[in-house]
């Protein structure tokens, strides 16, 4: 992306993505319905790797400080999931396609569900440390998984669609013809 628009555009995209994620987490919303995974997926596709990983992490740190911190083991697991998502997206979506993007989004949603609920089971004390307790943890988290998948797909589609429209608008040229300006 840097070669296409320059470093200021890259910084602008990072700031917009962080702002979107923080704002969406602060405004009232259904549980687990936030654009952070989509920011990590999209950032991984369009930003340099280091910025792609840092962007969702900064969004989480800022919003968690405002919302309130929770068990550090679970919080670090959530943050690590977003960092891994951005890194994998940077590798998988070098040349993004709709199929790759949607497949990655569903894999990321599932990965987040499995890993973070394992952390909740292991660290929170809410569930017995037995196979039954682990099963209960995943069962009780299913409504959150539905919201995670829906929000990840929705926000990922919206971010890539907005990006595509921005690219189309930026690459159009304007010409003067007969005293009037026309878009080519």
Range of the domain at 100: 2-140+149-183
We report the CATH number of the domain holding residue 64 as: 1.10.1760.20
Residue 175 DSSP one-character state: E
If one compares 5 and 9, the residue with the highest pLDDT of the two is 9
Note the pTM of the prediction, 2 decimals: 0.88
| pLDDT, position 170 | 75
Q: How many CA atoms lie within 13 A of 80 on its CB side?
A: 11
In this structure, the strands spanning 180-183 and 174-177 are antiparallel
Segment 27-43 shows an average pLDDT of: 95
**Distance between the two ends of the chain, CA-based, in angstroms?**
23
Write out pLDDT tens, residues 113-133: 999 999 999 999 999 999 999
Q: How many CA atoms lie within 13 A of 177 on its CB side?
A: 6
| pLDDT, position 2 | 45
Segment 60-64 shows an average pLDDT of: 96
Number of domains the chain is built from: 1
Segment 98-111 shows an average pLDDT of: 96
Rg (CA), the chain: 19
| pLDDT, position 9 | 82
What is the average pLDDT value for the chain, to the nearest integer? 90
């Amino acid at each position: 992306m840097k070669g296409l628009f320059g470093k200021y555009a890259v910084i602008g995209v990072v700031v917009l993505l962080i702002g979107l994620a923080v704002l969406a987490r602060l405004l009232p919303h259904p549980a687990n319905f936030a654009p952070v995974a989509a920011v990590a997926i999209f950032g991984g596709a369009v930003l340099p790797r280091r910025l792609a990983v840092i962007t969702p992490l900064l969004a989480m740190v800022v919003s968690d400080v405002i919302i309130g911190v929770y068990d550090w083991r679970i919080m670090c697991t959530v943050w690590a999931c977003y960092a891994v998502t951005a890194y994998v997206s940077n590798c998988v979506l070098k040349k993004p396609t709709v199929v790759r993007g949607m497949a990655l989004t569903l894999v990321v949603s599932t990965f987040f569900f499995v890993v973070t609920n394992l952390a909740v089971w292991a660290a929170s004390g809410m569930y017995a440390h037995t196979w039954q307790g682990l099963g209960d943890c995943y069962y009780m988290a299913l409504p959150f998984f539905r919201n995670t998948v829906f929000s990840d797909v929705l926000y990922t589609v919206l971010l890539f669609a907005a990006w595509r429209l921005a690219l189309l608008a930026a690459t159009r040229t304007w010409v003067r013809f007969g005293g009037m300006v026309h878009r080519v």
